[in-house]
Every structure is written in C-alpha cells, then in structure tokens.
Amino acid sequence: MQQPATGRGEGRGPQAPPSISQQVEDRLAPCLGDFNAKVWVKVVASRELGLSPEEITRQHLEPLLDGLRGSLNMFLGNAAADELCKKIIREVR
Amino acid sequence: MRYLRLAVFPLLYGAAFALFAWWLGGGPSLDSAVRWQILLPRALGAVGCFAAFTAFTKGDHLRRAWLLLALMTLGFLLNDLRRIVHYMRDLPPVVDAVFLALLVVCNVVNVVALGILASAWRKASSFLRTRRGVVVLVSVVTAGVALVVAGPSAVEHYRQVAAGNWRGIVLMVSAVADILALCLISPLVLTAISLRGGPIAWPWGLLSASLICWLLFDAAAGLGWVLGSDHFPVTELFRAMALTYLFGAGLAQRFVVMHARKMAR
C-alpha cells in the first residue's frame, strides 16, 4: 500500500536546483525584499540582456550584475553594492 | 521591527508634546517650553542625518544629500539657540544679520539636498510598479498643494522686499524654498512606493513623512491654525514630528546600508 506524502516535497523525486536568476534573487532579497529582487532581476535581464530570468546562465551573471550595479550603488552605496555583487559571483553556481 | 519603531516614534513624540502643551495650558510657560523643546527634535534630526551620512562611503550619491541635510539641520539648530538667547537678552545687529544670511543658506541647502535625493527617482522609476496615471496625479497634486500652502507667503514677503524691507528677504527665500521642497515630495513618495516591500523603502517613506509634516506645518502657519482658547501650538507639533521623522529616515538609511554590508559578508 502506498504511503501518503507526509511533508513538503516528499514523493516528488529530486528537486531541480534553483536557477541562476533564482539564486541571484535569493541573495538580493534580504536587502531589497522578495518582490523587488524579482522585479529588479527581471527588468535588468530583459533590458540589458534581452532575456527572461529563466534563460540566464552563469555566463550572463556578470553582465546582469553590471546592470544591477547602478541601482544598488544608488540605494545601498558603492561599498555595500560591490560586496554584494562579489558575494553573488562567489556563491552562485 | 526596528523600522516600524522608527515610524512610530514621531507619533509618540507628537502625542507626548501635545499632552504636555495641553497640561501647561497656554501662556508664557507654554511659549517658553515650546522654544526649548524644539532643540531636542532638531538635534535628533541632525544626529539621524549624520548617521546616514557616515554609513555611506566617499563618492556615494546619497552621501552628499545626507551631509547637506545634517548641516542644514545644524544651521537651524544654531538659529533656535540664537532665538532662545535673544528672548533673554538683546543681541547686536551684526549677529542678527549673520543669522539672516545663515537661514537663507540653510533654505537653499535644504532644496539642493532634497533635489539630490529626489534624483534617485530616475533609478527607481526603471523598476516602476506604479501606474503612469498615479505618477502624474501625485506630481500635480503635490505641486498644487505646495503652491496653495506656501505661495501666498512668498507673494506677501516679495511685496515686503519690494517695499524696501530687506529683512523680508529671508522669509521670501524661505517661502520659495518651501514651495520647491514641497514639490519634491512627489519623487520621494514615488520612490518609496516603487521600492515598497523591502527594507530599502523605509528611508524614503520616512523622509516623505517628514516632508508631509513640513507641508502641514506650512499649512498650519499660513492658515493660523490654533486649537482651543489656549492657542495650542499646532505648527510646533508638526515641526517636531517633521524633525523626528527626519531622524527616523536617517537611521533607517544607516540600517539599510549596514544590513546590506552584513548580508554581503
């Protein structure tokens, strides 16, 4: 007899790793808020790269962060923005 | 939670001020208390602006704006101290002349600082989540309200200056600066709206609240609002709240920058 799933994700098989855009959003969210992080990545991906967030790969990461940098510098200051971008490049796979 | 505390603090300060003013019940004791109490919110406002200024590093766009706001608030704090001294004893005319010049400079510096802050709207607008109609409506309404509230005062003081009363020039510059500063409410409010949902919206929201309190201050001064027979000082209530909101905005700005640095480590 099949056991019912008892928790989130159980019985669905292995989860796909988060996309590059998702990982960037997750690292921006504590500073910008979840919704802002999503919107900023989506707008910059579309405007600077002509891509949807799902189409972003590791090679698009630096141009994406360059596109975000102007606004991050404005609202968080150059030092915090630089550290945040470095962290994203270091951690996002 | 700490951002919420910064938003609630000016309301609590305003409530405490109102209760204290009512308890004094008007007269010379209220006048004296009002004259002294402004020093606290003014000093808090300067502390908040310096806190925001020191959170940024050299070359940051907003750093200059917070420094100018801090210096402007300090300039007005010096003038408050001059008024207290002047109340107790006469000051030489040269001191008055120096402070008149200082007030003109402070008013101009305030508009420049708010202009720098308002220019952030161009960045925020690229992530705009606000309908164009709302942007136009907010801009038109704030410009209209600014003209209605501070316009008559500017015209009146211009007439005084034209009639040869040069002391009126400070009040005229102040009224024109008020109109410009109040017009800058709309880009600050729209920036706060565009960034809503995240910590970075808080400094903009609190700064907008400060400017709205200045708008109410000007309206109360222009219309001569008083409550009750003991002439409750409505203008001073709004002034104190505007300055404590500025304090909150500066601290919120510092918290946002420091939090971002902590998260990036």
Q: What is the pLDDT of residue A72?
A: 92
Q: List all residues 6 or more positions away from A31 whose beta carbon is below 8 Å from its beta carbon.
A: A76, A80, A84, B198, B199, B200, B256, B259, B260, B263
**Is there a contact between B123 and A76 if contact means CB atoms under 8 Å apart?**
no
List the domain boundaries for chain B.
2-264
pLDDT category at B125 given cuts 50, 70, 90 is: confident
Question: Is B192 in the A-facing interface, judged by CB distances under 8 Å?
Answer: no
Taking residues B61-70, what's their average pLDDT?
A: 95
Q: List all residues 6 or more positions away from B11 whose beta carbon is below 8 Å from its beta carbon.
A: B241
pLDDT category at A25 given cuts 50, 70, 90 is: very high
Question: Do residues B94 and B100 touch, judged by C-beta distance below 8 A?
Answer: no
Give me the residues of B, 8-47, that contact A with CB < 8 A. Answer: none
Please state, for a pLDDT cut of 70, what percent of chain B lies above it.
95
**Is there a contact between A36 and B197 if contact means CB atoms under 8 Å apart?**
yes
Q: Is it true that domain B2-264 has CATH number 1.10.3470? A: no
ipTM: 0.80
A contacts of B57 (beta carbons < 8 Å): 77-79
Q: What is the pLDDT of residue B87?
A: 73
Taking residues B131-148, what's their average pLDDT?
A: 84
Helix or strand (DSSP H, E) at A44: helix A34-44
Interface test with A, best of B53, B54, B60, B207 (most A CBs within 10 A): B60
* Full-model pTM: 0.87
Centre a 10 Å sphere on the Cβ of residue B230 and count the other Cβ atoms it contains.
14
pLDDT category at B227 given cuts 50, 70, 90 is: low
- B71-105: per-residue pLDDT in tens? 999 999 999 999 888 777 777 888 888 888 899 89
Question: Do residues B116 and B191 touch, judged by C-beta distance below 8 A?
Answer: no
pLDDT(B245) > 50: yes
